[in-house]
Amino acid sequence: MDFDNSKPIYLQIVDFFYENILSKQWQEGSRIPSVREVAMMVEVNPNTAIRAFNHLQDLEVIYNKRGIGYFVSNNGYTTVLDIKRKEFLEQNLPNLFKQMSLLDIGIEELNNAYNQHKNEEE
Amino acid sequence: MLTTNKLYFNYPTSPSVLKSINLELKPGNIYGLFGKNGEGKSTLIKIMSGLLFPKSGNCTFNGRSIQQREPETLQDIFLIPEEFELPSISIKAFEHINSVFYPNFSKEQFYNLLEEFHLKPQQIISNLSFGQKKKVLIAFGIAVNTQLLLMDEPTNGLDIPSKSQFRKVMAASVDSGKCIVISTHQVRDLHSLINHVIILDNAQLIFDESLDQVTKMLWFGRASSTEQTGLIYSEGAFGGRSVHARMDKEETEVDLELLFNGVLNEPARINQIMQNNDHGTRV
């Protein structure tokens, strides 16, 4: 994993979990890799990985079955969806708006670009 | 686990390379030991492993003086030096001869690590390249499972894929009972592994903090030119990265290189901020 050097690594690990959950690679209720496995996968100190696990547990995205391991919560997918939607609306969008006004791009232009993108996808 | 108390050291007819070093290393951590060339990093590591004796002060491991070189102490300390000579025997013979000194040695772990590093037990060590020899030593150093593992520039001589392998192997081998000290200039190779920073300069210990504490107190990034509050140190005039007192800003990842340069340039200010806020959070 390549790290963005401004965001805390534990939060980047959290994002990696979110991606796996949103893409359904990790299904609700299914077991996820252990702290040690994640630390190895992303080449970090296990303490950093533990911090990511604790953070996700606090948000009830994952839960711990003592002695067995960590699992995606039963409503883990919707929880992550809510978190990421909120993040998009509160952080990504204001940034986009700021860029738009700096570059003098109006909402019309954005709309056209969006429609074009949709057409190309189809 | 390892304590140094008012440690002084100098080589014959040279000024002190270590002055009044007080350290307390605890299990469960990976310590990064930093300092410019010739600032005493390797000397300190040699004292910690009993290869050199302090001129005054002491260095103890679980309460026992390391310079006594008692078997009970040395069987729980392993040093991977920066430069080393290995005998011209097979890796397997090397393991056979040396593993007996370490009661927690795991044969299985050693051969798994060799495989991971693409080495074969029958290979003769003297025929290997420097990087491969280093890998033999790293694999052995991890497999002996000593409480204290000292590594002097472990990634020197490793190729790019091996550095990544090294980080994976290290991430997997830390546990709450082990204490690892890595001395290095290759900050980028290891920054994701280290969780405590020790900096030596002018023969003195000028910084000794956990990264948790550092992230709590300091902020790393590119601040806009208008935002100069709490600026401690910055690099480059235009859009350079800088260290600030964090205050109520969002948490950022520690930039070790920047922290190192910041500490060398503004040791008093950085340490003051680390301490000041300590009181602040306690209230």
Question: pLDDT 10s digit of each residue in chain B, 283 long?
Answer: 999 999 999 998 888 889 999 999 999 999 999 998 888 899 999 999 999 999 999 999 999 999 999 999 999 999 999 989 999 999 999 999 999 999 999 999 999 999 999 999 999 999 999 999 999 999 999 999 999 999 999 998 888 888 888 998 898 888 888 999 999 888 878 888 999 999 999 899 999 999 988 988 888 887 665 566 678 888 765 667 788 888 878 888 888 888 998 899 888 888 888 887 544 443 3
End-to-end CA distance of chain B: 30
Please name the residues between 81 and 140 in chain B that touch chain A, using a CB distance below 8 Å. Answer: none
This model of the complex carries an ipTM of: 0.76
Q: Cβ of A47 and B221 within 8 Å?
A: no
Max distance between CA atoms of chain B, in angstroms, equals 64
CB nearest to B195's CB, from A36, A41, A47:
A47
Nearest to A114 by CA among A101, A100, A94, A102: A100
Report yes or no: A43 and B163 within 8 Å, Cβ to Cβ.
no
- Per residue in A28-77, pLDDT tens? 999 999 999 999 989 999 989 999 999 999 999 999 998 899 999 999 99
Q: What is the pLDDT of residue B282?
A: 39
Amino acid at A6: S
Round to whole Å and give the CA distance between B222 and B241.
5
Q: How far, in Å, CA of A26 to CA of A3, rounded?
A: 22
Question: Which chain A residues are Cβ-neighbours of B253 within 8 angstroms?
Answer: 3-9
Closest CA to B138 of B170, B94, B164: B170
Q: Is A9-76 a domain of CATH 2.40.50.140? A: no
Selected residue with higher pLDDT from A15 and B221: A15
Q: Where are chain B's structural domains? A: 2-201, 209-282
Residue among B95, B11, B2 nearest B50 (CA): B2
Pairing between β-strand B196-201 and β-strand B218-221 as defined by DSSP bridges = unpaired
Residue in A3, A7, A40 closest to B168 by CB: A40
Q: Taking CB atoms and an 8 Å cutoff, what residues of chain B touch A4?
A: 253
> What integer is the mean pLDDT of A3-17?
83
With CB atoms and an 8 Å threshold, state whether A8 touches B253.
yes
For A40, which residue in chain B has the nearest alpha carbon? B168
The count of other CB atoms within 10 Å of the CB of residue B75 is 17
What homologous superfamily is domain B2-201 in, according to CATH? P-loop containing nucleotide triphosphate hydrolases (3.40.50.300)
Interface of A with B (CB under 8 A): 3-9, 36, 39-48
- Closest to A34 in 3D by CA, of B100, B93, B172, B87: B172
- The pLDDT assigned to A53 comes to 95
Domain parsing of chain A, residue ranges? 9-76, 85-121
Which one has a higher pLDDT value, A20 or B174?
A20
Show Cβ contacts of residue B58 under 8 Å, excluding neighbours closer than 6 positions. Answer: B4, B5, B6, B7, B65, B67
Q: A2-30: b or e for each residue (b if 16 or more CB lie within 10 Å)?
A: ebebeebbbbbbbeebbebbeeeebebee
Chain B neighbors of A44, CB-CB under 8 A:
167, 171, 192-193
Question: Cα-Cα-Cα-Cα dihedral of B46, B49, B55, B61, to 10°?
Answer: 150
**Residue B7 β-bridge partners:** B21
Residues in A touching B168 (Cβ below 8 Å):
40-41, 43
Mean pLDDT of chain A: 90
Please compute the mean of the pLDDT values over residues A22-29 and round it to a whole number: 91
Which among B145, B139, B66 is positioned nearest to B101, based on CA atoms? Answer: B145
Q: Is the pLDDT of residue A4 over 60?
A: no
| pLDDT score at B281 | 44
Please determine, for residue A23, whether its predicted confidence score (pLDDT) is greater than 80.
yes
CB-CB: which of B167, B171, B251 is closest to A8? Answer: B251
- The reply to whether residue B167 touches residue A43, judged by beta carbons under 8 angstroms, is yes
Place of tokens 């290095």: B184
- Cβ contact, residue pair A9, B192, below 8 Å: yes
